[in-house]
């Protein structure tokens, strides 16, 4: 949507998905420093399980789509949320389902100098027990590179280990009543390092809550 001098806005379709290159993009977009756009599709791509894409603007003003990764169920499927960048240009996100435990994954996409992107599964969620599974929301990071997110039942932190594996720590489990349940949205930080978010349901009146988690 581009504004004009008269205050009106003009819409331009940058790209139309065909199914084979993606289908049902639920999430928003992320920019890189070169002005390229990045996002996810819930379904479609090579395996039908969704993917991560880049939209690059060409010299004549058109946009070219490149599928950076197609999920194949083993590494996750159905990414509902978008992606975020770290300072090194790596992308991070979540898938809602599939993975080793069929409860979704957290993943990293790392670019190479040749333009290829390599995917790594950072964590396989488990909806049995306190670990939680099936994340709808995306991730945020702190200054140390730790990742934070939500599943419908909890708030979690993912911390990189020295051996390349990431460790999940559950910061809060919702009780489904007073403090809410069904967490579908992403988190935000304040300057003091507190986390804020919302629940879709629960609370005193059953209509959801706004919460804060303090370290």
3 lies in a domain?
A: no
Burial class of residue 58 in the structure, from the number of CB atoms within 10 Å of its CB (0-12 exposed, 13-18 middle, 19+ buried): exposed
202 in a structural domain: yes
Percent of the chain, pLDDT > 90?
Answer: 90
Domain that residue 154 falls in: 18-213
Per-residue pLDDT at 129: 72
**Domain holding 25: CATH number?**
2.120.10.30
Number of domains the chain is built from: 1
Within a domain: 8: no
The pLDDT tens digits for 2-33 are 999 999 999 999 999 999 999 999 999 999 99
Q: Is residue 130 part of a domain?
A: yes
Per-residue pLDDT tens digits for 102-159 = 999 999 999 998 889 999 999 999 988 778 999 999 999 999 999 999 999 999 999 9
- For the cut 90, the answer to whether the pLDDT of residue 164 exceeds it is no
Whether 7 is covered by a domain: the verdict is no
- Is residue 1 a part of any domain in this protein? no
| pTM for this prediction | 0.94
Structural domain contains residue 10? no
Give a yes or no: residue 100 inside a domain: yes
How much is the pLDDT for 130?
Answer: 74
């Amino acid at each position: 949507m581009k504004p004009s001098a008269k205050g009106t806005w003009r819409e331009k379709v940058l790209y139309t998905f065909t199914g084979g290159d993606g289908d049902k993009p639920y999430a928003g977009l992320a920019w890189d420093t070169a002005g390229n756009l990045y996002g996810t599709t819930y379904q479609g791509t090579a395996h039908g399980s969704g993917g991560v894409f880049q939209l690059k603007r060409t010299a004549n003003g058109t946009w070219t789509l490149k599928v950076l990764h197609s999920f194949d169920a083993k590494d996750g499927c159905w990414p509902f949320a978008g992606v975020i960048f770290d300072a090194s240009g790596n992308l991070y996100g979540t898938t809602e389902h599939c993975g080793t435990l069929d409860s979704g994954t957290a993943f990293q996409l790392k670019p190479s100098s040749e333009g290829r992107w390599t995917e790594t599964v950072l964590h396989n969620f488990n909806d049995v027990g306190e670990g939680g599974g099936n994340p709808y929301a995306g991730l945020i990071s702190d200054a140390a590179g730790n990742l934070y997110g939500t599943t419908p039942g909890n708030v979690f932190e993912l911390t990189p280990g020295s051996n390349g594996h990431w460790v999940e720590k559950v910061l809060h489990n919702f009780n489904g009543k007073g403090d809410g349940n069904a967490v579908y949205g992403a988190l935000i930080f304040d300057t003091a390092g507190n986390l804020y978010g919302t629940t879709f349901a629960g609370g005193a009146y059953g209509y959801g809550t706004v919460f804060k988690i303090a370290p």
